């Protein structure tokens, strides 16, 4: 499968190795080693990203803007193939090749709060550098991606269509989601608040989407497929979802899920280091809300997928998406217990 692609980049398939890389749920990713260069090859999941060309256009727009305004920023954009294109389309799908940044590190789990600080700073920096870029120029690569109102409606629809067996299994989770609808109402008030602007938002701020240098200082953010106009709560919230607990969304021993308050402070300090001059007064009021917004939405997404027989995320075993949903609900319960305290730290 790779020969055709490699040769289109002028790489010799005989002297190049290709190995699976990372643990993303959506795209396929490989590490490519040619005799003198390393690359990251990705196949875009075109069931999820219906128009991969839209992503390619966004990357090119952002690259042009940042090269012009922030030439020192490390923007990792796809290598051009021999035909000059940065997206390869063949019978197997859509592919792009990124340079591997020498001396960079990425991690799949956080080992210290300093990493949370560095990552939050990089995501804040990304939005800040693009503060004067007109976000409306970007293609919407996944419509309504973080629209909680729509996600909730899809969940209600999935409840109507689901098998009796899965509905019964998920009954307690379903009740929990319905009982916490006020989280959707708050999102609605954000949509209606003109002092909460649409910004250039990354929308997938997990730790593996940050590159660090050898000293674990942040270098830049990567995985820019979901960079779209959005609200800052998406980026801050997904950091809370994925950095606050030492246990990941895959953990099935739910007793291991707990909130590390010092990691919350690290996210706050890192993000605000860059964004404090940019965020509006109204946005700041929602800093702590962002955690429950995204954790709740991810619980809904996993639960909806379970009810729809795992058509989106896939499942390695029968209860995989059910367990992921329960994991996120457990995390949300822990978060809600601390919410007032966390909130007061952000408004001090």
- Per rule CB under 5 A, count of chain residues that contact Mg ion: 2
Closer residue to ligand GN1 (CB): 225 or 274:
225
d(CA 266, CA 294): 18
Options 11, 18, 26, 303; binder of ligand GN1; rule CB under 6 A: 26
CA 145 to chain centre: 11
In sequence order, which residues have a C-beta less than 8 Å from that of residue 235 and are 6 or more positions away?
123, 127, 201, 202, 203, 205, 271
Structure tokens at 76: 């990792």
For 258, how many CA atoms within 13 A lie in the half-sphere containing its CB?
A: 5
Contact status: 223 vs Mg ion (CB under 5 A): yes
Parallel, antiparallel, or unpaired: how do β-strands 38-44 and 28-33 relate?
antiparallel
Contact status: 235 vs ligand GN1 (CB under 6 A): no
Contact status: 25 vs ligand GN1 (CB under 6 A): yes
In angstroms, the first-to-last Cα distance of the chain is 56
Options 8, 28, 34, 48; binder of ligand GN1; rule CB under 6 A: 48
Could you tell which of ligand GN1, Mg ion, none binds residue 191, using a CB distance below 5 to 8 A set by kind?
none
d(CA 266, CA 285): 18
Could you tell which of ligand GN1, Mg ion, none binds residue 245, using a CB distance below 5 to 8 A set by kind?
none
Parallel, antiparallel, or unpaired: how do β-strands 228-230 and 199-201 relate?
antiparallel
- Per rule CB under 6 A, count of chain residues that contact ligand GN1: 8
C-beta of 250: minimal distance to Mg ion in Å? 15
d(CA 13, CA 66): 33
d(CA 291, CA 305): 21
The answer to whether the CB of 235 falls within 8 A of the CB of 291 is no
Measured from the Cβ of residue 99, the count of other Cβ atoms closer than 10 Å reads 13
Contact status: 198 vs ligand GN1 (CB under 6 A): no
Find the radius of gyration of the CA atoms of the chain. 20
Query: Mask 214-233, x = binds ligand GN1 (CB under 6 A)?
Result: ------------x-------
Closer residue to Mg ion (CB): 223 or 283:
223
Could you tell which of Mg ion, ligand GN1, none binds residue 48, using a CB distance below 5 to 8 A set by kind?
ligand GN1
Closer residue to Mg ion (CB): 110 or 259:
110
Candidate ranges 22-30, 34-42, 90-98, 107-115; the one touching ligand GN1 (CB under 6 A): 22-30
Contact status: 22 vs ligand GN1 (CB under 6 A): no
Contact status: 298 vs ligand GN1 (CB under 6 A): yes
Contact status: 235 vs Mg ion (CB under 5 A): no
d(CA 198, CA 139): 14
Contact status: 204 vs ligand GN1 (CB under 6 A): yes
Contact status: 159 vs ligand GN1 (CB under 6 A): no
Contact status: 336 vs ligand GN1 (CB under 6 A): no
β-sheet bridge partners, residue 39: 32, 99
The answer to whether the CB of 31 falls within 8 A of the CB of 40 is yes
Closer residue to Mg ion (CB): 204 or 249:
204
The answer to whether the CB of 115 falls within 8 A of the CB of 212 is yes
C-beta of 242: minimal distance to ligand GN1 in Å? 8
Contact status: 204 vs Mg ion (CB under 5 A): yes
* Residues 69-108 interacting with Mg ion (rule: CB under 5 A): none
Interaction site with ligand GN1 (CB under 6 A): 24-26, 48, 204, 226, 249, 298
Interaction site with Mg ion (CB under 5 A): 204, 223
């Amino acid at each position: 499968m790779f020969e055709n692609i490699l040769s289109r980049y002028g790489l010799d398939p005989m002297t190049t190795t290709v190995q699976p890389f990372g643990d993303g749920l959506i795209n396929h990713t490989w590490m490519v080693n040619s005799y003198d260069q390393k690359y990251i090859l990705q196949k875009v999941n075109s069931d999820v990203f219906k128009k991969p060309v839209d992503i390619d256009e966004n990357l090119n727009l952002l690259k042009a803007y940042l090269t012009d305004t922030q030439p020192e920023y490390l923007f990792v954009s796809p290598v051009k193939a021999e035909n000059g294109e940065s997206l390869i389309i063949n019978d197997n799908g859509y592919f792009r090749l990124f340079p591997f940044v020498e001396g960079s590190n990425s991690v799949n789990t956080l080992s210290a709060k300093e990493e949370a600080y560095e990552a939050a700073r990089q995501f804040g920096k990304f939005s800040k550098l693009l503060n004067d870029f007109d976000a409306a120029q970007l293609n919407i690569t996944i419509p309504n991606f973080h629209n909680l109102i729509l996600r909730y409606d899809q969940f209600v629809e999935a409840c109507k269509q689901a098998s009796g067996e899965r509905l019964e299994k998920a009954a307690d989770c379903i009740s929990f989601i319905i009982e916490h609808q006020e989280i959707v109402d708050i999102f609605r008030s954000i949509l209606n608040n003109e002092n909460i602007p649409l910004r250039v938002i990354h929308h997938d701020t997990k730790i593996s989407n940050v590159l660090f240098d050898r000293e674990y200082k942040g270098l830049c953010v990567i995985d820019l497929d979901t960079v779209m106009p959005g609200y800052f709560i998406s980026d801050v919230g997904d950091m809370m979802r994925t950095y606050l607990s030492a246990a990941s969304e895959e953990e099935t021993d739910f007793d291991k899920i707990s909130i590390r308050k010092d990691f919350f402070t690290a996210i706050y300090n890192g993000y605000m280091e860059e964004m404090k001059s940019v965020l509006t007064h109204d946005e700041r009021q929602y800093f702590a809300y962002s955690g429950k917004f995204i954790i709740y939405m991810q619980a809904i997404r996993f639960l909806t997928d379970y009810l729809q027989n795992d058509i989106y995320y896939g499942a390695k075993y029968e209860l995989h998406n059910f367990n992921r949903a329960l994991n996120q609900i457990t995390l949300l319960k822990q978060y809600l217990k601390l919410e007032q305290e966390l909130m007061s730290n952000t408004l001090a």
